[in-house]
A and B are shown apart, each in its own frame.
Chain A
Amino acid sequence: MNRKLKETFAGLVYLLPALILLAAFRFLPILFSVRISLYDWGMAGPKKFIGLENYAEVLTDPVFWKSLLHTGWYVFFSVPLMLFIALFIALLLNTRIKGLGIYRTVYYLPVVTSIVAVSIVWKWILHPERGLLNYLLSFIGVHGIGWLEDPRGLFAIIFAPLGIKLPEVLTGPSIAMVALIIMSVWKGIGYNVVIYLAGLQNIPAQYYEAAKIDGAGRLATFRNVTWPLISPTTFYILIISTIVTFETFAQVWIMTGPPPGGPLGTTKVVMYYFYEQSFELWRLGYGAAIAFFAFLIILALTIFQKTYLERRVHYA
């Protein structure tokens, strides 16, 4: 008993620096945020207790729901695109190819570079009149895409020639949002390639040999061997990418607008709306309530993926 007490004391001493910092800047703030969200809390002036009113306001706030829809489109397009392109590249790289190291470096480079700098660079590349992308597209006969300035929805544009007018929730991501999606795929792909490569290298060679003996072609081998055996990695990437894309912020601050979130608010994502309410309008109580809902949604998505998709995951 005496020894246990001594060990506990020693453990506490060693943990103290980390504990103090985590208590002050993580644990207490999380508890504190619950309290703030129950107040009409600005930077100056009296704070007023208003119960659950902030939460009720978030739920009836059309801008919040729109920001959620924009975030949804962003996640819905970015994540699968990133995942499948990365898997494709990882498969090509996993063939004992020459120059693997160089390819990996090249694909990985955007991951380590700052989001602020690459947002500035992409904004320039996406410039509607002087940008590199529209210049390159002009060679294949595509002209004058407005990129960050075009608020029209992708599906609305596709269906317009057919005379179909879509309701607002179905108009899809705006062209400006599509531009952000392109950049997020470019930025995030290298990370997924590296994770997939690590996963592919863990698949035992005998499975491929067995498939070969059974006369399976490339496609059959992929469908019956690689895809099921790589599913834990796919699952991991799915969860991480969903969280990361859901929390997108810097791109919107730098690339869109003015005002940011434009054109016509079509790139205003949840994180940006949270920032705007909390730190530009200084509605801190309301901001805390938004953050709480954002957290709930992320949590729900993760739990959903865990319960419904993990069943299909084969852990070897």
Chain B
Amino acid sequence: MPKPNFKLTPVHLILVGGGIFMLMPFGWMVLTSLKTPLEALRFPPTWLPEIWRFSNYREVFQEISYLRYFMNTVFITAVTLLGVFFTGILAAYAFARIEFWGREVLFMIFLALMMIPLPVYLVPSYMILFNLGWIDTYWAMIVPWMVNIFSIFMLRQHIKTLPQDLFDAAKIDGCSRFGTLWRIVVPLSKAPLITIGVFNIISSWNSFFWPLIVTHSDAIRPIQVGLAYFSREQSSNYTLLMAASTLTILPLVILFFFAQRHIIQSYIRTGLKE
């Protein structure tokens, strides 16, 4: 940012001040994660660690089944995303390009379902999962989330903008309906599909309320729930807590820097956030 002709105007001063406030918690998290437990508790605190204790990070893996949580989350996120793509592409195509009976009504019902807050269907969903024998399994965290109405909505809007000529040409050339979807629509929907992918990865990765309720055993827990219980069990072990938090945030921060444009786009279009 500071190019040679950069001037620190009052506007920049305010924005930099605000920026420091925004970044301070992350900075403090990383700094604490590198101190010894004794130094972390000192008051007044030190800014930079006197002894840089990188072993805190190793200890996180020894103290809790962090790697297990991590892999659980990667697995849940990946399978959920595949499901979202599968159900979403098919449904969006139907809503955008197949003129079936009752299409508009059904679409309105979909949108209305999107507005219902989680607590309304949480209790009965729990019972349904319980009766399926899925409580405390990966299925309980994956299957209900393999459809994402917002993704269907976004993809439908995109497919509607594709020119009709493409579909006519495909038909004349004898391309089947599914062939048209797979060979023409999908390759032309890369941008919205990436946005949907990024958006769903973030929400799966950060998901907390649902997995908290449908899991009981430690081995099955995703990263957020594992971290949350860790914070309850060792509430004063600040150095390890900060190291674990850093590890939990890091993958998404990396993703954020690579896919910033898509992430911000997806959030502008949604209105969904934690």
Interface residues of A (CB under 8 A from B): 4, 7-12, 14-19, 21-22, 24-30, 32-33, 36, 89, 92-93, 95, 97-99, 102-125, 129-130, 132, 135, 138, 186-191, 194-195, 198, 236, 240, 243-244, 247, 249-250, 253-254, 258, 271, 274-275, 278-279, 284, 287-288, 290-292, 294-295, 298
Taking CB atoms, residues of chain A closer than 8 Å to B232 are 254, 258
Taking CB atoms, residues of chain B closer than 8 Å to A16 are 90
**Does B253 have its Cβ within 8 Å of any Cβ on chain A?**
yes
Q: List 25 A-B contacts (CB under 8 A).
A: A9-B100, A11-B103, A14-B91, A21-B87, A21-B144, A25-B128, A26-B116, A30-B120, A32-B128, A36-B124, A92-B14, A99-B12, A106-B19, A111-B273, A112-B202, A112-B263, A113-B253, A118-B249, A120-B245, A124-B32, A125-B24, A135-B43, A186-B21, A249-B209, A271-B119
Contact A114 B205 (CB under 8 A): yes
Taking CB atoms, residues of chain A closer than 8 Å to B190 are none
Contact B103 A21 (CB under 8 A): no
Contact A111 B119 (CB under 8 A): no
Contact B249 A114 (CB under 8 A): yes
Interface size class of B (residues with CB under 8 A): 35 or more
- The distance from the CB of B50 to the nearest CB of chain A, in whole angstroms, is 16
Name the residue of chain B whose CB is nearest to the CB of A116.
Answer: B224
Distance in angstroms between the alpha carbons of A23 and B34 in the assembled complex: 49
Contact B45 A132 (CB under 8 A): yes
| With known contacts A7-B99, A30-B121, A116–B228 Cβ distance under 8 A | yes
Contact A115 B206 (CB under 8 A): yes
Contact A110 B100 (CB under 8 A): no
Partner of A135, one of B45, B120, B121, B152: B45
Contact B231 A254 (CB under 8 A): yes
Contact A11 B22 (CB under 8 A): no
Contact B119 A274 (CB under 8 A): yes
Distance in angstroms between the alpha carbons of A253 and B232 in the assembled complex: 9
Taking CB atoms, residues of chain B closer than 8 Å to A278 are 122-123
| With known contacts A12-B100, A121-B245, A240-B271, A25–B15 Cβ distance under 8 A | no
Distance in angstroms between the alpha carbons of A30 and B116 in the assembled complex: 9
Contact A28 B124 (CB under 8 A): yes
Name the residue of chain A whose CB is nearest to the CB of B116.
Answer: A30
- The distance from the CB of A254 to the nearest CB of chain B, in whole angstroms, is 6
- The distance from the CB of A306 to the nearest CB of chain B, in whole angstroms, is 13
Contact A194 B119 (CB under 8 A): no
**Does B242 have its Cβ within 8 Å of any Cβ on chain A?**
yes
- The distance from the CB of A314 to the nearest CB of chain B, in whole angstroms, is 20
Distance in angstroms between the alpha carbons of A21 and B1 in the assembled complex: 47
Contact A18 B274 (CB under 8 A): no
Contact B28 A291 (CB under 8 A): no
Contact A17 B127 (CB under 8 A): no
5 extra interchain contacts, Cβ-Cβ under 8 A, other than A8-B102, A22-B113?
Answer: A11-B100, A18-B90, A24-B144, A29-B121, A98-B1
**Does B88 have its Cβ within 8 Å of any Cβ on chain A?**
yes
Taking CB atoms, residues of chain A closer than 8 Å to B110 are 22
| A-facing residues in B196-250 (Cβ within 8 Å) | 202, 205-206, 208-209, 212-213, 224, 227-228, 231-232, 238, 241-242, 245, 248-249
Among A112, A122, A244, A295, residue most surrounded by chain B Cβ atoms (within 10 Å):
A112
Contact B23 A21 (CB under 8 A): no
Taking CB atoms, residues of chain B closer than 8 Å to A198 are 268
Contact B213 A279 (CB under 8 A): yes
**Does B264 have its Cβ within 8 Å of any Cβ on chain A?**
yes
- The distance from the CB of B175 to the nearest CB of chain A, in whole angstroms, is 15
Taking CB atoms, residues of chain B closer than 8 Å to A110 are 22, 25
Contact A17 B241 (CB under 8 A): no
Taking CB atoms, residues of chain B closer than 8 Å to A107 are 18-19, 22
- The distance from the CB of B123 to the nearest CB of chain A, in whole angstroms, is 5
Name the residue of chain B whose CB is nearest to the CB of A22.
Answer: B147
**Does B55 have its Cβ within 8 Å of any Cβ on chain A?**
no
Partner of B264, one of A4, A95, A104: A104
Contact A25 B21 (CB under 8 A): no
- The distance from the CB of A49 to the nearest CB of chain B, in whole angstroms, is 16
Distance in angstroms between the alpha carbons of A17 and B86 in the assembled complex: 8
Taking CB atoms, residues of chain B closer than 8 Å to A106 are 19, 22-23
Contact B273 A244 (CB under 8 A): yes
Distance in angstroms between the alpha carbons of A12 and B106 in the assembled complex: 11
Taking CB atoms, residues of chain A closer than 8 Å to B152 are 18
Name the residue of chain A whose CB is nearest to the CB of B26.
Answer: A109
Name the residue of chain B whose CB is nearest to the CB of A118.
Answer: B25
Contact B98 A186 (CB under 8 A): no
